[in-house]
Chains A and B, each alone.
Chain A
Amino acid sequence: MFGLSYNTFLVLAGSGLLGLTAGVVGAFAVLRRRSLMGDALAHAALPGLCIAFLLYQQRNFFIFLAGATVTGILGVLCVSWLRHNTRIKEDAAIGLVLSVFFGMGIVLSSIIQDLPTGQKAGLDSYLLGQTAGMVMQDLISIIAVSLAALLVLLLFFKEFTILSFDPEYAAVQGWPTFLLDLAMMGLLVITTVIGLPAVGVVLMAALLIIPGVAARFWTDQLKWMLILAALFGLITGIAGTAASATLSDLPAGPVIVLTGTIIFLFSMLFAPRRGILSRGIEHLRLRATIARQNLLRSMYEFTEPALPERRAIAIEELTRARSWSAGQVERLLSREARRSHVEPVAGGWRLTPSGVEAAAQVVRSHRLWETFLIENAEIAPDHVDRDADQIEHILSPDLLHKLEEHLREAGRWPRGAGELPPASAHATPALFPTPAQPESKVADDGGKPL
């Protein structure tokens, strides 16, 4: 099939499908802050495997599956019961269930090793997994469980979505949140259990967590997050298996997990908006904008008394006004010169007409906000300048317009701040399409006419 040997195809299909299902189911767990529940579950499944063997006395995949599911669900119920009914917190509850159940599993498996039939149990393969040992039976069970899990997710998509984001709302809506929660956990359990033979106890947690977390970087929408998680899971499974088959002598489970880790690292670094790199760039850009606006504002304040005359401002004046070094100021100035907002003249730099216009906009929003904080937000006046500095760069022109209107309507147009920059004085298109009536009011108040 596809030029692959039957065995390779089987293993690739199995691990790909397993990754896909684990990715989707795990994405919900990640959203519900239950990432480590999968880990606890995988550990809690071990005693179930052992008990199933002790009862059945031979290696049978489906019996093992049933036993693991039973103790896995028992583990989940223990965690949830402890959290709700005792003072034990969730983290300790998960850790307890994980370690005590696993301890029980180890005791049972050491007992099984002592039995005459013990060597047939093959329990060791469940600890670290044996992807290459996958047989048709494993693939069939993976397909069955995957289809069932995806079907349940599709049917209860709306319920699970709301349960993940707002469990209180779901409860208020009268939904059986406990049962829905249990259903989600049940999906987690069976996915974990079918994954155990392939990747083992410890690494199963990775298959559940990593695709969901990686997908979260790329989107804010649940639908896309699930689709991406499925895709990442699929890629992880297939690429990991292929890599371990090509690079000789590497165990598949860890390679699958590390493939996932690479996808995670790539997403963490390069995802747009949420990735570390784009966050960093965003941060730098914001800082640059703030510095640029601060420069324009300082220059405007020096220019303002003599307007419409635009006087030259020395670099020392600017360094004195703010905590800038001369080098920083020069860099900022030359950058602004490229936008032809400033121009070098004898004795320093001065704003160009378009620079005055841009600076006026910055100063205007700054002072509007400043006024608003004094008048409406009852903030101690000595805090105002600082806050205004930070917020004017974030406010949208829309909000500024509303603010301005609000102040005008309340007749609170600042009297003392008569030097509000006349933004339209230089025959620029109205930055703030101000209503017609306030003009007279402003004039009445003794401010400078707009």
Chain B
Amino acid sequence: MIATLPPFIESLMRLTGYDEISFWIVLTAALVNVSCAVLGCFLVLRRMSLLGDAISHAILPGLVLGFIVTAALRTGPTGPGGREHIPMPYFAMLVGALAIGVITALLTEIVHRYAKVPEDAAMGVVFTSLFAIGVIMIHRLARNVDLDPGCVLYGMLETAALDTVEVFGYEFSRPAANMAVVCAAVIAFVALLWKELKIVSFDPQLATAQGINAQLVHYLLMAMVATVTVAAFEAVGSILVVAMLIAPAAAAYMLTDRLSSMVILSGTMGLISAVLGRDLAQGNSLSARAVCAVLSFFFSIGSSVWHSLSTLSLQIDYVPVQYARASVSGMGAVVAGALFVAAVLFSPSHGLLVKMMRQFNLTLRIVREDALALLYRWQEIAPDRSLEHAQAAAALGGGWFPRLALWWLQREGRIQAWATADGKRGLRLTDKGARQAQTLVKSHRLWESYLSQVLGFPADHLHAPADRTEHYISEGLLREVAREVEHPHEDPHGRPIPRREGSRVDLGEKDLQ
């Protein structure tokens, strides 16, 4: 009796171009990932990421307990050799694991609150102890059961298509069908409790003040995490669950400040991890071959260097990395991690690159302004002698940064280079540059006056703060400062404060053709 696939699955399969086995693998992984990624947002925001980790380890005894209880109730005929094949009692295992999941949260809370143990240590004690109990229970059962502890850690996603179940006369992959139900439950949970989850995540005190039972929401969330973990463990193993609970949510957190977009982004990244993870795990796919090539390259170099050093002679090794099939769930975790790294680097709002760009732009602007002010002062003191390019660069701190700034200013037409009498490259301000330099020097000197007159700074403590501040004073503030110090003509060191018009005569105008 062969049941057929439901029509919408068939059309989806044609659309995505997967064969039946891969389709079920990807679908199961995708459902797990999306469920985890959506819930994970709240864990990450509430700084409880590790509770997901703790629960996913601690449920082991719950799973086994559920198994034992059902097995004891179902005393079937014993086969030859005393071995009895018991089908996995999934529902009982789910209930057992769910109970242990909530108990983990409760025990952690108790140890933390009543014994005053720091929360992370409390969690560590509770989940490792429960996991140890689980491992022992499995070992006691090992003669009768194929419940492999390793399977709890990395799952059996590869067999998702082989384990089928019939619903309404159609054939579904059982893990996929289970996960579809759980995923729907997660989405319904988040949609229904959206407001409550949001307030509790950002401001538990406000939530309590508004009459929301923060404690109840907390335990509901824990129960959902436990449900997802249990439903997902057999398919993908607890490690992918932990990775999916944290990595997509953390990546989304790098990308946005809005909860709604964070949840959607996180879910999307979960989906991408599922598709890409499976693709990379199939050793003959294009992406996997690309990764293999890169890995071979690095391993070959590493091995060559290692062997050359250990034998003290040049050895060239070629270490081919290739595989027919890697762990799909492990690959999913790696892809999620890679997505997170990408988010950290390239996020338009909080990314490393953007931060560095901003830093670079700011530094460049400051050096450019310093260069203009330097030239202004030079021409003020020595209108007849031109400042050499090398001197200017050195005065601005040296290195490639001032050179870049000077080149930029020339390109903008704020300074111009000309050959001095002794054949060196001299620099001076153009009209455009002089106007900007004037404003800067004016800011600097007015600020010095302000510090000296109003705040009573001693004369030798004026330059450094003004040097920093001159880049940040806005026009409005400058007017205020000028009014406050009553529009002086000279700064505290006796240097003229440039006026909006006029004083350009000081700049050695005769040099400028």
Name A100's contact: one of B47, B122, B150, B334 (CB within 8 Å).
B334
A 189-213 to B, binary, CB cutoff 8 A, 1 in contact else 0: 0000000000000110110011011
Specify which chain A residues have a CB less than 8 angstroms from the CB of B121 in the assembled complex: 30, 33, 35, 209, 212-213
Whether A223 sits at the interface, judged by CB under 8 Å, is no
Name the residue on B nearest A280 (C-beta): B114
Q: Assess A85 versus B125: contact at CB under 8 Å? Given A91-B47, A103-B243.
A: no
Q: Number of residues in B with C-beta < 8 Å to the partner?
A: 68
Is B136 a contact of A36 with CB atoms below 8 Å? no
Is A106 a contact of B129 with CB atoms below 8 Å? no
B 98-124 to A, binary, CB cutoff 8 A, 1 in contact else 0: 000000000000010011111011111
Measured between alpha carbons, how far is A109 from B326 in the docked complex, in Å?
Answer: 8
Name A251's contact: one of B57, B135, B246, B249 (CB within 8 Å).
B135
Q: From residue 82 to 101 of chain A, which have CB atoms closer than 8 A to chain B?
A: 82, 85-89, 91-92, 94-96, 98-100
Is A95 a contact of B52 with CB atoms below 8 Å? yes
Name A36's contact: one of B50, B240, B334 (CB within 8 Å).
B50
Could you list 15 further interchain pairs (A-B, Cβ under 8 angstroms) beyond the known A99-B53, A213-B121, A264-B125? A34-B120, A38-B124, A88-B344, A92-B250, A95-B246, A96-B246, A96-B247, A96-B250, A103-B336, A105-B330, A106-B153, A205-B128, A217-B115, A251-B136, A254-B136
Whether A268 sits at the interface, judged by CB under 8 Å, is yes
Main secondary structure of the interface of B (DSSP, over half): helix
Is A106 a contact of B239 with CB atoms below 8 Å? yes
Specify which chain A residues have a CB less than 8 angstroms from the CB of B153 in the assembled complex: 106, 127
Q: Assess A106 versus B139: contact at CB under 8 Å? Given A124-B150, A268-B111.
A: no
Give the most central of A33, A54, A100, A253: most B CB within 10 Å: A100
B 332-348 to A, binary, CB cutoff 8 A, 1 in contact else 0: 11101100100010000
B 466-485 to A, binary, CB cutoff 8 A, 1 in contact else 0: 00000000000000000000
Q: How far is the CB of A273 from chain B (nearest CB, A)?
A: 11
Specify which chain B residues have a CB less than 8 angstroms from the CB of A279 in the assembled complex: 114
Is B330 a contact of A103 with CB atoms below 8 Å? yes
Give the 4 A-B residue pairs with the shortest CB-CB distance, closest first: A103-B333, A100-B337, A106-B330, A206-B128
Is A54 a contact of B299 with CB atoms below 8 Å? yes
Q: Assess A111 versus B154: contact at CB under 8 Å? Given A86-B350, A258-B133.
A: no
Name the residue on B nearest A206 (C-beta): B128
Q: Assess A128 versus B253: contact at CB under 8 Å? Given A100-B336, A103-B334.
A: no
Name the residue on B nearest A274 (C-beta): B116
Is B330 a contact of A202 with CB atoms below 8 Å? no
Is A103 a contact of B331 with CB atoms below 8 Å? yes
Main secondary structure of the interface of A (DSSP, over half): helix
Q: How far is the CB of A172 from chain B (nearest CB, A)?
A: 24
Is A110 a contact of B330 with CB atoms below 8 Å? yes
Specify which chain B residues have a CB less than 8 angstroms from the CB of A92 in the assembled complex: 44, 47, 49, 246, 249-250, 253
Specify which chain A residues have a CB less than 8 angstroms from the CB of B337 in the assembled complex: 96, 99-100, 103-104
Q: Assess A104 versus B334: contact at CB under 8 Å? Given A36-B50, A99-B243, A213-B117.
A: yes
Whether A377 sits at the interface, judged by CB under 8 Å, is no
Name B303's contact: one of A55, A127, A217 (CB within 8 Å).
A55
Specify which chain B residues have a CB less than 8 angstroms from the CB of A276 in the assembled complex: 114-115
Whether A234 sits at the interface, judged by CB under 8 Å, is no
Whether A350 sits at the interface, judged by CB under 8 Å, is no
Name the residue on B nearest A207 (C-beta): B128
Q: From residue 163 to 216 of chain A, which have CB atoms closer than 8 A to chain B?
A: 202-203, 205-206, 209-210, 212-213, 216
B 412-456 to A, binary, CB cutoff 8 A, 1 in contact else 0: 000000000000000000000000000000000000000000000
Measured between alpha carbons, how far is A27 from B47 in the docked complex, in Å?
Answer: 23
Whether B23 sits at the interface, judged by CB under 8 Å, is no
Specify which chain A residues have a CB less than 8 angstroms from the CB of B139 in the assembled complex: 249-251, 254
Q: How far is the CB of B117 from chain A (nearest CB, A)?
A: 6
Whether A107 sits at the interface, judged by CB under 8 Å, is yes
Whether A39 sits at the interface, judged by CB under 8 Å, is yes
Specify which chain B residues have a CB less than 8 angstroms from the CB of A107 in the assembled complex: 281, 326-327, 330-331, 334
Specify which chain B residues have a CB less than 8 angstroms from the CB of A103 in the assembled complex: 239-240, 243, 329-334, 336-337
Q: Assess A96 versus B239: contact at CB under 8 Å? Given A33-B120, A106-B154, A250-B136.
A: no
Q: Assess A94 versus B326: contact at CB under 8 Å? Given A87-B253, A87-B254, A254-B133.
A: no
Whether B323 sits at the interface, judged by CB under 8 Å, is yes
Specify which chain A residues have a CB less than 8 angstroms from the CB of B331 in the assembled complex: 103, 107
Whether B376 sits at the interface, judged by CB under 8 Å, is no
Whether B132 sits at the interface, judged by CB under 8 Å, is yes
Q: How far is the CB of A77 from chain B (nearest CB, A)?
A: 14
Whether A261 sits at the interface, judged by CB under 8 Å, is yes
Specify which chain A residues have a CB less than 8 angstroms from the CB of B44 in the assembled complex: 89, 92
Q: From residue 333 to 366 of chain A, which have CB atoms closer than 8 A to chain B?
A: none
B 40-54 to A, binary, CB cutoff 8 A, 1 in contact else 0: 000010011110110
Give the most central of A33, A55, A212: most B CB within 10 Å: A55
Whether B321 sits at the interface, judged by CB under 8 Å, is yes
Whether B231 sits at the interface, judged by CB under 8 Å, is no
Measured between alpha carbons, how far is A91 from B249 in the docked complex, in Å?
Answer: 13
Specify which chain B residues have a CB less than 8 angstroms from the CB of A110 in the assembled complex: 323, 325-327, 330
Q: How far is the CB of B276 from chain A (nearest CB, A)?
A: 13
Measured between alpha carbons, how far is A124 from B206 in the docked complex, in Å?
Answer: 49
Measured between alpha carbons, how far is A55 from B116 in the docked complex, in Å?
Answer: 47
Give the most central of B121, B136, B254, B337: most A CB within 10 Å: B121
Specify which chain A residues have a CB less than 8 angstroms from the CB of B336 in the assembled complex: 100, 103
Specify which chain B residues have a CB less than 8 angstroms from the CB of A132 in the assembled complex: none
Whether A121 sits at the interface, judged by CB under 8 Å, is no
Q: How far is the CB of A372 from chain B (nearest CB, A)?
A: 31
Whether A257 sits at the interface, judged by CB under 8 Å, is yes
Specify which chain A residues have a CB less than 8 angstroms from the CB of B128 in the assembled complex: 202-203, 205-206, 209-210, 257
Is A261 a contact of B253 with CB atoms below 8 Å? no
Measured between alpha carbons, how far is A203 from B243 in the docked complex, in Å?
Answer: 19
Whether B131 sits at the interface, judged by CB under 8 Å, is yes
Specify which chain B residues have a CB less than 8 angstroms from the CB of A98 in the assembled complex: 53, 242
- List 29 A-B residue pairs with CB atoms under 8 Å apart, sorted by A's residue number: A35-B121, A35-B123, A39-B53, A43-B239, A55-B306, A86-B344, A87-B253, A88-B344, A89-B44, A91-B48, A99-B240, A99-B333, A103-B332, A103-B336, A106-B153, A107-B281, A114-B326, A127-B153, A128-B135, A202-B128, A206-B128, A210-B124, A210-B128, A217-B115, A249-B140, A251-B135, A258-B133, A258-B136, A276-B114
Name the residue on B nearest A81 (C-beta): B344
Q: From residue 1 to 26 of chain A, which have CB atoms closer than 8 A to chain B?
A: none
